[in-house]
């Protein structure tokens, strides 16, 4: 039996009462791993670089094996960028290559830059017009119910590329689920953790492209934009992103 384990934390009260988002996490785990995961999530919320949480929600739900989708891990590669400006230029180039209009790509970057505080979830933007298509406001769409299929194997794959740590491990799984969704053209992301400046553009077509710097060190604003094909059934997409259980498998070598 597998379980979905989710955590979200905020400062100044719960998110739904105006609390400031601190951190969140989601895993799919077998029963014997739940306890350790919950303790790790609790510690993350308590000692986060965005500040100390005074609201922490932990949720454990059984997952029916028959409901699981298996989807491939996106291939990972990196681009060069030695400044925020160069990084953002590279992000626009990658987004346009993946099928996002120049205007929408620029709109995605400004949307994140102009956030007053970080959101808990992502904004959905039309990949042609750049207009926001979800109506979830400052909450956004929180992608949930996903994990890698085999943590040991997954972490070994990352290590082969010299990568380790929660940020990339969680982001690559999330990006792989998002890219597998019908209607998603590409994703743009950088962290809201002030000390983490590396971000990425991901798409089913070109994989997960790491961009070494997308914001200034110390900046607590980050976010995610999912660019969707014009005419996408947005409600169906949101249901997939939030509720569909997806396990990510590295392709066989
Ligand atoms: N679903 C939707 N949006 C999310 C989710 C989620 N599960 N988790 C985070 N976000 C949004 C939310 O707006 C956050 O404020 C923002 O993304 C940043 O979240 O290869 O760590 O968890 O080294 O801080 C990129 C790794 C790390 C790059 C990104 O984001 C690399 C990261 P964070
Ligand atoms: Mg995260
Ligand atoms: Mg897709
Ligand atoms: Mg964060």
Domain hosting 26: range is 2-67
The residue from 47, 67, 87 where one domain ends is: 67
pLDDT at 251: 78
At how many degrees (to 10) do helices 151-160 and 166-179 cross?
110
The alpha carbon of 10 and the centre of ligand 2 are apart by a number of angstroms equal to 13
pLDDT at 10: 97
31/25 Cα distance (integer angstroms) = 17
pLDDT at 252: 65
The alpha carbon of 90 and the centre of ligand 3 are apart by a number of angstroms equal to 21
The alpha carbon of 182 and the centre of ligand 2 are apart by a number of angstroms equal to 23
- In this predicted structure, the answer to whether residue 253 has a pLDDT above a threshold of 70 is no
Residues 95, 44, single domain; the answer is no
Residues 79, 49, single domain; the answer is no
Share of the chain above pLDDT 90, in %: 98
Q: State if residue 19 touches ligand 1 by the CB under 6 angstroms criterion.
A: no
Residues 10, 106, single domain; the answer is no
The residue from 67, 94, 110 where one domain ends is: 67
Q: State if residue 171 touches ligand 1 by the CB under 6 angstroms criterion.
A: yes
Residue among 9, 181, 224, 246 whose CB has most ligand 1 atoms within 8 A, to mutate: 224
Q: How distant, in Å, are the alpha carbons of 78, 124, 159 from that of 75?
A: 10, 23, 14
- In this predicted structure, the answer to whether residue 7 has a pLDDT above a threshold of 70 is yes
Residues 10, 27, single domain; the answer is yes
The residue from 18, 49, 67 where one domain ends is: 67
Residues 237, 126, single domain; the answer is yes
pLDDT tens per residue, range 45-76? 999 999 999 999 999 999 999 999 999 999 99
Residues 166, 63, single domain; the answer is no
Q: State if residue 192 touches ligand 1 by the CB under 6 angstroms criterion.
A: yes
133/201 Cα distance (integer angstroms) = 19
ipTM of the complex in this document: 0.97
Residues 176, 92, single domain; the answer is yes
Q: How distant, in Å, are the alpha carbons of 42, 154, 225, 232 from that of 202?
A: 29, 18, 11, 18
Residues 14, 59, single domain; the answer is yes
Residues 162, 51, single domain; the answer is no
Q: State if residue 199 touches ligand 1 by the CB under 6 angstroms criterion.
A: yes
pLDDT tens per residue, range 100-142? 999 999 999 999 999 999 999 999 999 999 999 999 999 999 9
Residues 108, 199, single domain; the answer is yes
Q: How many CB atoms sit inside 10 A of residue 218's CB?
A: 8
Residues 166, 208, single domain; the answer is yes
| Number of domains forming the structure of the chain | 2
Q: State if residue 168 touches ligand 1 by the CB under 6 angstroms criterion.
A: yes
Residues 32, 90, single domain; the answer is no
Q: Which ligand is nearest to the CA of 71?
A: 3
């Amino acid at each position: 039996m597998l379980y979905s384990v989710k955590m979200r934390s905020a400062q100044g009260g719960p998110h739904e009462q105006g609390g400031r988002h601190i951190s969140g996490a989601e895993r799919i785990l077998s029963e014997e791993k739940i306890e350790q995961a919950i303790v790790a999530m609790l510690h993350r919320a308590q000692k986060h670089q965005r500040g100390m949480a005074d609201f922490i929600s932990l949720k454990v739900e059984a997952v029916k094996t028959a409901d699981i989708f298996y989807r491939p891990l996106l291939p990972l590669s990196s681009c060069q960028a030695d400044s925020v400006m160069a990084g953002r230029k590279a992000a626009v180039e990658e987004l346009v290559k993946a099928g996002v209009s120049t205007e929408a790509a620029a709109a995605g970057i400004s949307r994140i830059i102009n956030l007053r505080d970080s959101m808990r979830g992502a904004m959905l933007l039309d990949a042609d017009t750049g207009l926001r298509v979800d109506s979830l406001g400052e909450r956004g769409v929180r992608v949930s119910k996903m994990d890698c299929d085999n943590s040991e194997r997954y972490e070994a794959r990352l290590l082969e590329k010299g990568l380790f740590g929660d940020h990339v491990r969680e982001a690559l799984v999330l990006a792989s689920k998002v890219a597998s969704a019908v209607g998603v053209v590409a994703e743009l992301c950088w962290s809201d953790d002030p000390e983490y400046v590396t971000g990425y553009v991901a798409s089913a077509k070109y994989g997960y492209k790491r961009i070494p710097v997308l914001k200034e060190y110390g900046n607590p604003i980050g976010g995610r934009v999912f660019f969707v094909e014009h005419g996408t059934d947005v409600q169906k997409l949101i249901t997939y992103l939030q509720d569909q259980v997806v396990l990510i498998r590295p392709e066989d070598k």
